[in-house]
Homo-oligomer: A and B are copies of this chain.
Amino acid sequence: MKVTIIGPGLIGGSFALALKKRLEGVVVYGWDQNADHLQEALDLGIIDHMAVSLEEALQKGDWVILAIPVNAIESILPKCLDGLKAHQILVDFGSTKKSICAVADKHTNRAQFIAAHPIAGTEYSGPQAAFPGLFEDKVMIVCDETESSAEAITGFRKLCKMIGMSTTYLKAAEHDVHLAYVSHLSHVIAFGLSNTVLKQEESDEHILDLAGSGFASTVRLAKSSPDMWTPIFLKNKRAILDSLENYLDHLTHFKSLLESEDHEQIRAFLEKGRAIRKILK
């Protein structure tokens, strides 16, 4: 089986490594607009061949995986779809799906395209961050699956299963709202906390010396790549703004409770929030 990875970084690279680990005879072709990253992916054994151009890379794989920022996916998608041969299947791994599906839906080769989002990641990025176990026991979301051919979906589900992933299906618009709440908002929050504490440290320089594991956990996602996250925020703007407004309302409510020292209501706010432990173990 031949696989092309466009963007062999954390996500694309881990997918390649997982396939190589689970399947005999996988040959991986890679392309990246960053030549250093591409060389690194080769040196690390993530890819077997560096394509000389995006065009060449697109021709090589039975499976072609787009694991690049969501704005880049959207802009190269028509070209990728144009050149597909009958046996090729194109999959994107972007974290937003609505605008990507809108582009794909207009194309005659739509049935050869799968809009997917693996719910897996770390705060690190690039080929060096890739590892074969990233996707084990994780969920692959497939959006608007009835727009893809049944054959493509069946084949992709098998690939996912082989690397330890279950598959779930969602409308693209629903996906974007869900993910705004359970992923994108957490990133906004972490970047906001990081900015707040770093700014405070300018006037009080050893403030971070006393940070414990709680702060580290809350701020962790602020280490994520701006290249990936700027486009995600922009592409999922409406749903993220809605979730952010709801979040700001909750914090402003807490602030007024604290200002008025409303012991009972503060406690109730914490008890309500604490119910998350029944859901997240």
Residues of A at the B interface (CB closer than 8 Å) are: 119-123, 138-139, 141, 168, 177-179, 181-183, 185-200, 204, 206-224, 226, 229-230, 233-234, 237, 240-241, 243-248, 250-252, 254-255, 258-259, 261, 263, 266-267, 269-277, 279-280
Q: Measured between C-beta atoms, what is the minimum distance from A154 to chain B in Å?
A: 23
A276 vs B215: C-alpha distance in the bound complex, in angstroms?
A: 11
CA A199 to CA B186, docked complex, whole Å: 16
> Which residues of chain B are within 8 angstroms of A272 by Cβ–Cβ distance?
194-195, 198
Chain B residue nearest to A266 in the complex (CB): B230
Contact B243 A200 (CB under 8 A): yes
Q: Which residues of B contact A120 (CB under 8 A)?
A: 212-213
Which of chain B's residues has its CB closest to A200's CB? B181
- Contact (A192, B254) CB under 8 Å given A198-B276, A234-B266: yes
CA distance A81 to B211 in the complex (A): 31
Question: Which single member of B182, B218, B258 contacts A197 (CB below 8 Å)?
Answer: B182
Name the B residues within 8 Å of A230 (CB-CB): 263, 266-267, 270
Given that A207-B178, A214-B186 are contacting pairs, would A266 and B195 also be in contact in the complex, using a CB cutoff of 8 Å?
no
Which has the most chain B C-beta neighbours within 10 Å: A138, A188, A251?
A: A251
Copies in the complex: 2
Query: Contact between B226 and A275 (Cβ–Cβ < 8 Å)?
Result: no
Asked whether, in the complex, the Cβ of A185 is within 8 Å of the Cβ of B195, the reply is: no
Q: Which of B178, B197, B219, B244 sits near A210, CB closer than 8 Å?
A: B178
Question: Are A280 and B216 in contact, with the CB atoms below 8 A?
Answer: yes
Whether B221 contacts A218 by the Cβ 8 Å rule is yes
A-B contact pairs, 28 of them (CB 8 A): A121-B213, A168-B210, A178-B206, A181-B196, A183-B211, A188-B251, A189-B193, A190-B273, A191-B254, A191-B270, A191-B273, A191-B274, A192-B250, A194-B272, A196-B246, A198-B275, A208-B280, A211-B280, A215-B280, A218-B218, A222-B277, A226-B274, A230-B263, A230-B266, A230-B270, A244-B258, A248-B248, A248-B251
